[in-house]
Amino acid sequence: MVVTFDVSPEKEGSVLNYFYRQLTQTPAEVRGIDLGGKTAIVTGSNVGIGLECSRQLLDLGLSKLVLAVRNVSKGQAAATELSKDINLNPGTIEVWELDYASYDSICSFVERTKGLERLDIVILNAGIMATEARINPSTGHEETIQINYLSTALLAILLLPVVKSKRPLAEQPGRITITSSDTAAWAKLDERNEEPLLSSFDKPGKVDMLNRTFVSKLLGQLFLVELAKRVPSSVAVINMATPMMVYDSEINRETARSLMGKIVEVFRRRIGYTAAVGARMVVDAAVKHGEETHGQYLGLQKLKPMAPIVYSSEGDHLRSVLWRETLEEFSFAGVEDILNEVNSDRKEIL
């Protein structure tokens, strides 16, 4: 499907335009959808945008919600908080452990999802903004790339067969929405000519960690375009949405410790949305749009271009290098077979 945007990638990606949008527009509450009977998973849902996405899904009548969190007691506190002002059937909210820093945890989590009666919506939202480059001891990758890109991508692939088999009607696709960011367009990809690309992020040395966060989101966009080509939208509509700038989540837990970080916080409080407002955009992408959003990015509840580089010939090259290396990284989990199996749907239709 050819998608046309109401703005060029360059204009959408400009810093000035970003702040203009943030200051002049507010996304609407998501209404007019009944999620009765449906099951959703939201990752990173104990605080911030994930918690607010969870609340909004419950407000839309969701029948079962899995809070996927790395700290179960924080997840249980979130479940209690979500149950406070709403009449939920017993067992509506379950808290499941999921640590993006561990492939074992991801695989166990996905195994557990196979026991769900149905699975309609997945919001892959967990993410970090770190102030120093740390190598994940179990995977050997720099943690921001690990959490924001690699583990998010692995979950997106591993959950596909579950979404495919647990969607209630074969003609109704499941939904996977990834929380992304407009800052992908601001990423300085100094590693663009490195091959292998993925391990170039693990090299020791000084790293601009704000830029690293932007890069992790850019990698996600490059990956989504490739993934969507290989997954029929009849199986799952996979898209991304930005929550724009949110001031009252805990994403700044490391950055706000420095003097500069504290100054930035004052600015964020003045112009950022609440997590509840930012979450509207993620929930909108997950429940309100159709197959036209497969492999696409949404901002302020509309289809928007991804970072300009995604549409360039350099982006074509980067996408193919990244896809190959990412699939190699995940070969332990049989991802090629999973994608072939998921894609057999398309062959059945043809």
Residues at the contact surface with ligand NAP, assessed by CB under 6 A = 44, 46-50, 70-71, 74, 98-101, 125-128, 147, 179, 181, 242-243, 245-246, 249-251, 275
> Three-class SS of residue 44?
coil
The residues pairing with 66 across neighbouring beta strands, listed in sequence order, are: 41, 94
Sheet strand arrangement including 39-43:
93-97, 64-69, 39-43, 121-124, 174-179, 236-241, 297-299, 302-304
Q: Which is nearer to ligand NAP, 235 or 282 (CB)?
A: 282
Contacts of residue 234, defined as CB under 8 A and 6 or more positions apart, other chains included, come to 171, 173, 291, 345, 346, 349
Rounded to 10°, the helix 313-329/209-230 angle is 80
- Please give the structure tokens belonging to residue 261: 């970080």
- Please, what is the minimum distance in Å from the beta carbon of residue 102 to ligand NAP? 8
- Please, what is the minimum distance in Å from the beta carbon of residue 171 to ligand NAP? 31
Q: Which is nearer to ligand NAP, 246 or 286 (CB)?
A: 246
Q: Which is nearer to ligand NAP, 253 or 317 (CB)?
A: 253
- Please, what is the minimum distance in Å from the beta carbon of residue 70 to ligand NAP? 4
- Please, what is the minimum distance in Å from the beta carbon of residue 344 to ligand NAP? 31
- Compute the distance between CA of residue 64 and CA of residue 116 in angstroms, rounded to an integer: 10
- Please, what is the minimum distance in Å from the beta carbon of residue 78 to ligand NAP? 8
- Please, what is the minimum distance in Å from the beta carbon of residue 245 to ligand NAP? 5
- Please, what is the minimum distance in Å from the beta carbon of residue 181 to ligand NAP? 4
- Burial string for 249-275 (b: 16+ CB within 10 Å, else e) reads bbbbeebbeeeeeeeeeeebeeebbeb
Q: Which is nearer to ligand NAP, 50 or 232 (CB)?
A: 50
- Contact assessment for residue 62 and residue 40, using Cβ atoms and an 8 Å cutoff: yes
Q: Which is nearer to ligand NAP, 233 or 255 (CB)?
A: 255
- Please, what is the minimum distance in Å from the beta carbon of residue 182 to ligand NAP? 7
Q: Which is nearer to ligand NAP, 235 or 245 (CB)?
A: 245
Q: Which is nearer to ligand NAP, 47 or 238 (CB)?
A: 47
Of the candidates 99, 143, 137, 241, which has an alpha carbon nearest to the alpha carbon of residue 184? 241
CA 138 to centroid of chain Cα atoms: 22
Q: Which is nearer to ligand NAP, 50 or 315 (CB)?
A: 50
Pairing of strands 64-69, 93-97: parallel
Burial class (CB in 10 A: 0-12, 13-18, 19+), 201: buried
